[in-house]
């Protein structure tokens, strides 16, 4: 994924969790005693990354977070950026020995208007989180302008990049100049399409604005995003799942819901149906919203804005790892090539997390985070959904082992 083309008839030698050598199968010596994995007829690609993961939903507890971590590698995901941190996540991650869990980069606990009412509170918390080892500052909506400005300045001084939402009091243009490394959910982009002087009411990611946006402004917004160097993490299917006209009960019948504990699934059904009633989703508005979001993805990508894949799982009917293929497919439907879509889930995630030489690539010296597929994902993205095996830090799980682990994660069936 770091270069164009596909190399054929290669041998990849892994030792101590790293890729030691790559070369033509006929000329690459294999050290004695090496376990051989037969890749003939198969395609090796980098392990996938999820740039917008939630280890659990609010109040989900360690069991749900552990379930997310267990699930990811079984769908080929070897690296995640955790975007919502609760106190129990870090002790859980510190006890990862012996687990087959992805590499995790953890955001600070979120900064919201409630958690951070004053500039001083912002300054104190960023310092605390930096000292505790969090990798970046997570911004949620609701911060006042002075609080946000202090948060941005303090984060910058401490080398903590900002990631997350664009607070309404700040707006896209200012946010782009404030040290955001990534903007999630296309947040703030819809609002930036409003004619000048229009008041944007708070609501669901611009859904309420869809009848008032001026698409003539889109090129300028894309230009500003490109100039800022920010990475965009659309979490497209997560957003589309909210506004889809599918009922909660219908979504709950999807096969991957077998990995979702029943109380959470029940909560999602209620959440989905309430949401549809609350924001007045109609088929026409949902279609217009979806089309405009996908136009953003297409034009941001065409302008050279890095797009990183993020799923937003565990959120509404969004199962860690299982939702990645749908997100890749949405990117391709939006106008990206399959290679560009897969780059967004490999190279771009690693770059965003500042570990481009570690993972997201099949290269000598990189960690052996690899996915072996039965066929070429550049021809058929669905190949990604069902790997022949996954290697995580050099640890190999073949299909039988993956299936065994997946079965163990199924929730006792009560009808699906
Ligand atoms: Zn999220």
Residue 256 — pLDDT band, cuts 50, 70, 90?
very high
Q: Compute the distance from residue 148 Cα to the ligand 1 centre, in Å.
A: 19
Residue 333 lies in a domain: yes
Per-residue pLDDT tens for 102-146?
999 999 999 999 999 999 999 999 999 999 989 899 998 889 999
Assessment of whether the complete model's pTM goes beyond 0.85: yes
Asked whether residue 22 is domain-assigned, the answer is no
38 CA distance to ligand 1 middle (Å): 38
Is residue 128 in a domain? no
Q: In this structure, are strands 162-164 and 137-139 parallel, antiparallel, or unpaired?
A: parallel
Q: Which pLDDT band holds residue 197 (cuts at 50, 70, 90)?
A: confident
CA of 31 from ligand 1 middle (Å) equals 44
* The pLDDT of residue 326 is above 60: yes
The angle that helices 262-279 and 236-243 make with each other, rounded to 10 degrees, is 70
**Rounded distance from Cα 342 to ligand 1 centre (Å):** 21
The owner of tokens 């970046």 is 136
Sheet with 370-373, side-by-side order of all strands: 43-46, 370-373, 389-392, 395-398
Beta bridge partners of 161: none
Distance 235 CA to ligand 1 centre (A): 8
User: How many structural domains comprise the chain?
Assistant: 1
- Whole-number Å distance, alpha carbon 120 to ligand 1 midpoint, is 26
399: CA distance to ligand 1 center in Å? 30
Best CA proximity match to 103, nearest among 350, 351, 279: 350
- pLDDT grade, residue 414 (50/70/90)? low
Residue 139 confidence (pLDDT): 92
Q: What is the whole-number distance in angstroms between the Cα of residue 30 and the centre of ligand 1? A: 44
Contact 143, 110 (CB under 8 A): no
Dist. CA 71 → ligand 1 center (Å): 18
**Distances from the Cα of 31 to the Cαs of 34, 35, 95, in angstroms?**
6, 9, 33
pLDDT of 211 strictly over 90: no
Distance from the alpha carbon of residue 184 to the mean position of ligand 1, in angstroms: 8
Kindly give the distance from the C-alpha atom of residue 54 to the centroid of ligand 1, in angstroms, as a whole number. 6
Write the burial class of residue 24 (CB in 10 Å: 0-12 exposed, 13-18 middle, 19+ buried): exposed
3-class SS of residue 19: strand
The 3 state secondary structure assigned to 78-107 is: EEEEECCCCCCHHHHHHCCCCCCCCEEEEE
Q: What range defines the domain where residue 197 resides? A: 46-108+160-370
CB within 8 Å of 23: residues ≥ 6 apart: 10, 11
The DSSP secondary-structure symbol of 112 reads: -
User: What's the CA-to-centroid distance between 221 and ligand 1, angstroms?
Assistant: 23
**Centroid of ligand 1 to alpha carbon of 139 (angstroms):** 11
Task: Classify 407 as helix, strand or coil.
Answer: helix
State the pLDDT confidence band at 230, using cuts at 50, 70 and 90. Answer: very high
Q: With 0-12 CB in 10 A as exposed, 13-18 as middle and 19+ as buried, what is 410?
A: exposed
Does residue 137 fall inside a structural domain? no
Specify if 415 maps to a domain: no
**CA–centroid distance, residue 319 to ligand 1 (Å):** 13
Q: What is the 57 CA–ligand 1 centroid distance (Å)?
A: 9
Which of the four pLDDT bands, split at 50, 70 and 90, describes residue 13?
very high
Q: Quote the pLDDT of residue 282.
A: 84
Q: How far apart are CA 197 and CA 114, in angstroms?
A: 27
Q: What angle do CA 316, 186, 245 make, to 5 degrees?
A: 40
Per-residue confidence (pLDDT) for residue 346, from 0 to 100: 98
Give distance in angstroms: CA of 22 to centre of ligand 1: 37
Q: Which CATH number fits the domain that encloses residue 55?
A: 3.20.20
Whether residue 160 has pLDDT greater than 70: yes
Residue 292 is assigned to a structural domain of this protein = yes
- 131 is written with which tokens? 């000292």
Pick the more confident residue, 403 or 286: 403
The answer to whether 100 touches 73, Cβ cutoff 8 Å, is: yes
Residue 10 located in a structural domain? no
Q: Determine the distance from the C-alpha atom of residue 261 to the mean position of all C-alpha atoms in its chain, rounded to a whole number.
A: 22
> In angstroms, what is the span from residue 365 Cα to ligand 1's centroid?
32
């Amino acid at each position: 994924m770091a270069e164009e083309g596909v190399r054929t008839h290669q041998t990849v030698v892994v030792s101590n969790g790293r890729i030691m050598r790559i070369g033509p199968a006929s000329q690459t010596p294999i050290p004695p005693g090496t376990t051989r994995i037969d890749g003939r007829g198969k395609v090796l690609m980098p392990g996938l990354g999820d740039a917008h993961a939630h280890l659990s939903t609010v109040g989900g507890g360690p069991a749900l977070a552990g379930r997310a971590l267990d699930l990811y590698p079984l769908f080929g995901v070897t690296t995640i950026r955790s975007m919502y941190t609760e106190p129990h996540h870090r002790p859980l991650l510190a006890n990862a020995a012996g687990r087959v869990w992805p590499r995790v980069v953890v955001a600070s606990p979120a900064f919201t208007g409630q958690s951070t009412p004053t500039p001083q509170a912002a300054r104190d918390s960023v310092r605390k989180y930096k000292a505790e080892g969090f990798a970046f500052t997570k911004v949620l909506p609701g911060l006042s302008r002075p609080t946000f400005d202090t948060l941005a300045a303090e984060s910058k001084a401490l080398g903590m990049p900002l990631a997350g939402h664009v607070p309404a009091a700040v707006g896209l243009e200012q946010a782009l100049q404030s040290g955001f490394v990534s903007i999630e959910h296309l947040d703030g982009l819809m609002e930036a399409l409003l004619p000048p002087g229009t008041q944007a009411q708070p609501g669901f990611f611009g859904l309420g604005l869809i009848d008032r946006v001026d698409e003539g402004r889109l090129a300028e917004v894309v230009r500003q995003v490109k100039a800022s160097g920010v990475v965009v993490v659309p979490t497209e299917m997560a957003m589309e799942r909210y506004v889809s006209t599918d009922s909660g009960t219908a979504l709950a019948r999807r096969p991957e819901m077998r990995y979702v504990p029943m109380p959470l699934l029940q909560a999602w059904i209620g959440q989905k149906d309430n949401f549809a009633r609350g924001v007045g989703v109609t088929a026409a508005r949902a279609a217009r919203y979806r089309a405009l979001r996908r136009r953003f993805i297409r034009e941001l990508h065409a302008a050279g804005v890095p797009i990183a894949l993020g799923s937003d799982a565990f959120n509404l009917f969004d199962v860690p790892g299982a939702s990645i293929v749908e997100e890749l497919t949405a990117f391709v439907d939006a106008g990206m090539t399959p290679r560009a879509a897969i780059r967004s889930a490999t190279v771009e995630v690693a770059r965003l997390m500042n570990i481009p030489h570690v993972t997201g690539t099949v290269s000598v010296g990189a960690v052996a985070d690899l996915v072996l597929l039965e066929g070429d994902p550049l021809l058929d993205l669905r190949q990604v959904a069902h790997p022949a095996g996954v290697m995580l830090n050099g640890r190999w799980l073949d299909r039988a082992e993956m299936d065994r682990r997946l079965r163990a994660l199924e929730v006792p069936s009560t009808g699906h």
